[in-house]
Structure 1
C-alpha cells in the first residue's frame, strides 16, 4: 500500500474518532503521528518536532497572560464598564455580542465566556430579561470574534502555519490579517442580533443562579496595573513586529510577557502551568505531522483531484464555498481545531492545483471553523451556558443557522476581494 493511501486511511480514522467522540480528543491527536511513524510514513524525529513549533509557544505564552487578566479582575471590571450603558434587550444583545467578540480576539473563547457568564446572568436578572436572550449572543460572539487576530483561536494559528509553511516562507500572516474578514463578519452578525435576535432566540426561564458579583477586593491594585501594562505591551509588540524588524518574533514576545507576570508575582508558577490549554497544544502539535504527510506523500493532492473531479471545471469561488460549507458542517459535531488542522492543508493543495492563490481558500476554511454556533458541542464554551440559561440543543439551531448564513455571505464576498485568486 502506498504512503499516500496509508495517510488517507489515518486521516479518515482521525475524522471518525473525532466525530464519534468515544476517545479523548488529545489521545486521538497524540496517536496520529504514532500511527504515521509505525506505518513508515514519517520518521521518529518528526513525531515530536512540532512540540516546539512557534505557534505552540505562542499559545502557551498567551494562556499565562490571559490567566493574569482574569485573575486580577481586569476582565470583570472591563466588561462591567462596557455593559452598563444600555438597558434595552436589543441593545444588551448587541453589546454582549460585540464585547464578547472583541475580548475573544485576544483571549480564548472559553475564557471569555467563563468571565462574562456571571456578569451577563446578573445583567439579565437586573433588566428582567430571559438569560438565554443574552447567552446565545455571548457564545456566538466568543467564537466569531476569534477571527480578529491570529491569537484568537488555535484554528487561526493553524491557518497561519499552513500558509507560511506551504509557501516556503514567501507568504506571511500579520497579527490582524484575519480582521479584514473578522471585523465585517462581527458587525454583520451584530446587526442580525440587534434587529432579529429576539425572534431567532427561544424564550426560556433561567436555570440555576450564578454568582453575579465576584469579589476581587483582595487583589492589590499594583497587580492589576502591572498586568494591564504587560498585556498592552505584549499585544503592541506583536502588532508592531509586522513593521519593525528589530522586535522579537511574536511567540517570543508572548513568552516574555508570561515570564514577566510570573516573575513579578502576579501569578504563581503553579497558576501559570495550570493556565496552559494542553488539549489545544496537543491538537496543534500532534496533528501537524498529518498535515505534512498529506502534502509530502501526495495524499492531499489525491483529495484535491477528487474534489476537483466532483465539481468539474468549477471556479475557485465554488471550490472555496464547498470547502467552507464542509468545514462548517464538520465543526458542529467535532473539534473546530481538528477540522481546521485536517482541512487547511487540503484547501491549500486544491487551490494550488487550480493555479489559484491558496490563501483565500485556506482562510475560508479557518473562518468557517470559527462559526461553531449550531450545536452545544461545537465548542466547549457553548456547553457552558446550557444549565444557567436552561438552554436546549434545539435552541442553538435557529439562531445558529441565521448567523452561519450571514458569515458565509460575508466570507464569499470579501475573501476574493482581499485575496484575488489570480
Structure 2
C-alpha cells in the first residue's frame, strides 16, 4: 500500500478516535490532522488548509495564540520588569520602555504588548517618582513602530505580502520590513530620549482614570507554563526566520506553536485572540494602544498631535532615506 495512503488512514483513525473521545477540543484535533498531513508530505500547505481561510489569516490566528500565552502566563510582565530595572533616570526609562515594547511588538500583538506593559510602566513610575504621563505615549508609539520589524509584526505587512503573491511577484523575506522598521524604532527612541522629550506632556491635560488597576497577579501561574510559553515563542519565530531552509510555511509554524501551547494546557482553547496598525501616532483613535492610555494618563487630543506629528516626520525621513537604498525601484 502506498505510504501516503497509510499515513492518511492513520490520521483518519486518529481523528475518529479523538473526536469520539473528546479529551482535547475538536478544533485542535482538526488542526493537528491538517498540520500532520502537511508535515508528512501527504498534502501541500495550501491543500491542507484549503478548507479553512486565507493563509495570512491563519498566520495571525496562530500568532495571536502564541502571543496570548506569552502575555497570560505573566512572562511579558517579567521581561518588562527585568529590562526596566536598569532605568534609573527618565531618559534611560524612555529608552528601555521603547526598545522592549518595540521588540516584543515585532513578533506579538501590538495592542497586547501595550496592554501588558502599561501597568508595568505605571508601577515603575510610581516607585521611582517619574511622571507616568510622559511615559505612556512613548510606550504606545514604540508598540506601533515595532510592528514594522518583521513580516508578522502588523496586519498591513501581511496584506502587502498577500498582494504581491497574488500578483505572482516575489514576496518579502521575514526581516525585510525590519531593514526599515528597526532603524525607525532606534531613531524614534533616540528622538524621544533627547529632543522629543519636550513634546511629551509633563502633567495630565485631563483627570487621569483613577479606576485603572495595576498589574494582574501572575503568582499563581506555574513556572513550567512560563518556560513553555517562552520556548514556543522563540522556536516559532526561529522557524519563521528559517522558513526556506525548513520548507515549512509561516502559518504552519505558527499553528504548530499554537497547538503545543493548547495541548500542554499553557493556554485554553477558548482563550486562544487584537489587531493594531502602524504609524498612527497623531490621534488617540489612530490605533488601539493610543486609546488605551488616553484615559489612564489623562491625555487630550492635542497631546497626541504635539507628540505624534514630530515622530511621523522623523519616521518619514528615516523611510525616505532607507527605502531607496534597501529597496531600489531600478536595481
User: Which category of TM-score, normalised to the shorter sequence, fits these structures?
Assistant: 0.7 to 0.9
Matches within 5 A, 1:95-174: 95-166=96-167, 168=168, 170-174=169-173
Aligned position for 2:71: 70
From 217, 220, 223, the equivalent of 2:222 is 220
Following TM superposition, by how much is the alpha carbon of 1:51 offset from its aligned partner in structure 2, in angstroms?
Answer: 6.7
Q: 1:50 to 1:198 in 2, by over 3 A?
A: farther
Q: 2:213 & 2:177 partners in 1: Cα distance?
A: 35
CA–CA distance in structure 2, aligned partners of residues 94 and 228 of structure 1: 23
What TM-score results when the alignment is normalised by the length of structure 1?
0.63
* Post-superposition offset of 1:145: 0.9
Confirm or deny that 1:267 pairs with 2:267.
Answer: yes
Which residue is 1:258 aligned to? 258
Offset of residue 402 of structure 1: 0.7
Equivalence for 1:329: none
Of 221-230 and 56-65, the range deviating more from structure 2: 221-230
Cα distance in 2 for partners of 1:145, 1:97 equals 9
Aligned with residue 240 of structure 1, among 236, 239, 242 = 242
SS for the counterpart of 2:184 is: helix
TM-score w.r.t. length of structure 2? 0.80
CA shift digits 1:217-247 (9 cap, x unpaired)? 11111111111111111111000113x0x43
User: Counterparts of 1:212 and 1:88 in 2: how far apart (Å)?
Assistant: 22
Task: Say which SS state the counterpart of residue 238 (structure 1) adopts.
Answer: helix
Rounded to whole Å, the distance in 2 between the matches of 1:133 and 1:52 is 42
| Structure 1 runs (4+) greater than 2 angstroms displaced | 208-214
Q: Determine the structure 2 residue equivalent to 1:61.
A: 62
Displacement of 1:174: 1.3
What SS does the aligned partner of 1:87 have?
coil
Partner of 2:20: none
1:188 matches 2:96: no
Q: Is the 8 A contact 1:200 1:399 kept in 2?
A: yes
Structure 1 portions without partners, runs of 5+: 1-48, 281-334, 337-369
Matches of 1:270 and 1:410 in 2, distance apart? 41
| 2:157 alignment partner, SS class | helix
In structure 2, list runs of 5 or more residues that go unmatched: 1-49
What SS is found at the alignment partner of 2:261? helix
Q: Tell me the residue number matched to 1:45.
A: none
Does the 8 A contact of 1:109 with 1:381 survive in 2? yes
Give the equivalent residue in structure 2 for 1:46. none
1:229 paired to 2:236:
no
Does the aligned pair in 2 maintain the 1:90–1:197 contact within 8 Å?
A: no
After superposition, the CA RMSD in angstroms is 1.7
* CA distance in 1 between partners of 2:188 and 2:269 (Å): 40
Q: Distance in 1 between matches of 2:52 and 2:137?
A: 35
1:211 deviates by 3.5
Counterpart Cα distance in 2 of 1:164 and 1:411: 23
1:208 Cα shift?
3.1
Q: How many residues end up aligned between the 2 structures?
A: 278
Deviations 1:235-260 (A, max 9, x none): 11000113x0x431010010111011
